[in-house]
Amino acid sequence: MGVGSVKEVGPVQAEQMVLNIGPQHPSTHGVLRLKVKTDGEIVSEVIPYIGYLHRCFEKHAESITYEQVIPFTDRCDYIASMNNNFGYVVAMEELMDIKVPERVEYIRIIMAELNRIASHLLALGVYGLDVGAFTPFLHMFRDRERILDIFELTCGARLLYNYMWVGGVSHDLPRNFESICIDFLDYFEPNIPEFNELLTKNKIFIERTADVGVMPAEVAISYGVSGPNLRGSGVKWDVRRDEPYSIYNKFDFEIPVGTGEYGTLGDCWDRFWVRMLEMQESCKIIRQALKTIPEGGDVHAMVPKKIRPPKGSIYRRTESPRGDLGYYIISDGSEIPFRMKMRSPALTALSVLDEISAGWMISDVIAILGSLDIVLGEIDR
C-alpha cells in the first residue's frame, strides 16, 4: 500500500450496551429497576421491572374486613393517602347506598385538595432535584410541611391517615381549622410565582424539559394515561368534572392543560406546568369549601356499626393527584370483600415510558420518568 493511500473498511458494527438504573436509584421514585438499552448515550429501549414493593394489597383485602381495608389504601399511594381513602369510601358508599352528611362531603374535599397540593409539591420539588435544581426542592418541602401540620392537627397523622371512613370521617375538624387553613392559603398562594421564577421559567430547566419526552394525545389515550400526564398532552379530562363524585359539581374550578408554551405539546415541561396550575385550582376549591361548609352535625352519623354490603359489585373512579384511581369491589354479602381490584394511574403512566423515551439520552430518561410522577407503592400494590 503506497504512501498516502487510504485503506477501505466496512461499516462499524456498534454493540448495544445494557444499563441498569436501580432498583434503588434515587431518581426512580421508589424501588424500580429500569433496564436501559443504549447505543452510546442514545437510548433505544427502556424496560421497567416492577414488584420490589409488592405487598399483595388486593389479595390481602380478601381476608380482612371492609373497615380494615382503609389503612391499606393509605399505603398504596403513600404520598396521597387522603385521596386513596376517598376513592375507596366513595365506592363503598355507592355499593351500600349510603348518603353521608353534607358536612362530611365538604371535609373530604378540603382534605383531598390539601393532599393534592402536598403531593404536587413533592412531585415538583423532587423533579427539580432530578434535573439538578436543589433550591426549589427546599422551598416546596417547606410549604408541604405546613399541610402535614394541618393533617396532624386534624387526625394525628402526617403520612398515613385512615381518616375517611365508610359513612363519615374519623375526626371532625378541630377548633379554628378554618382560620388555620385560610392562613396557610394566604401564605402559600403568593409563593407560587416564586416557584415559577426559581424553576418553571428557569432557562436551564426549560432546556432540560421542553421538547423532551413528548407524549402525543393519541399515545396517552391508547396507553390509558390519565391525570396531569394526560392533561399535559392537551386532553381536558378530569374525573372531578367529567364524572362528578361527592360534591365537586358545587365548586368552580378550571382544568389546566398543556399548551406547548416552551416546546412541543405533551413534553416534560407541559406535565410539570399542569401540576403547578393544579395547585392554584385546588386553592380555589378549598376556599370555596371553607366559605360554604355547613356548621355542626355528627360526622359519624352514617358510619355503620358493621359493614356488610349486599351481594353485588361496584367500580368507581376518582381523581387522585396521579390521575384516574379506580376501585372494583365484589361483595358476596359477608363482612369481607370477595374481590378487590385497584386501578393504578401510576402503572399506566409507567407503561408509556419506553414509548416516549426511545431516541433520547440517558439523562433525558431520568427527566422523562420524573415528569410522570409515579409512586411505586401504588404500582406494586
Query: How many other C-beta atoms are found inside a 10 Å radius of the C-beta of residue 126?
Result: 19
Look up residue 204 and give its three cell numbers. 436551564
Average pLDDT, the chain: 93
This prediction's pTM: 0.94
Check residue 30 and give its pLDDT. 83
Contact 114, 178 (CB under 8 A): no
pLDDT value of residue 27: 79
Question: What integer is the mean pLDDT of 346-358?
Answer: 95
Share of the chain above pLDDT 90, in %: 88
What pLDDT, on a 0 to 100 scale, did the predictor assign at position 25?
79
Three-state SS across 162-221? CCEECCEECCCCCCCHHHHHHHHHHHHHHHHHHHHHHHHCCHHHHHHHCCCCCCCHHHHH
Instruction: Report, at the CATH architecture level, how domain 17-54+100-299+345-379 is classified.
Output: Orthogonal Bundle (1.10)
Q: What is the mean pLDDT of residues 98-111?
A: 96
User: What is the rounded CA–CA span in Å between residue 347 and residue 8?
Assistant: 50
Q: What is the pLDDT of residue 311?
A: 96
What is the spatial distance between Cα 143 and Cα 64, in angstroms, rounded to a whole number? Answer: 37
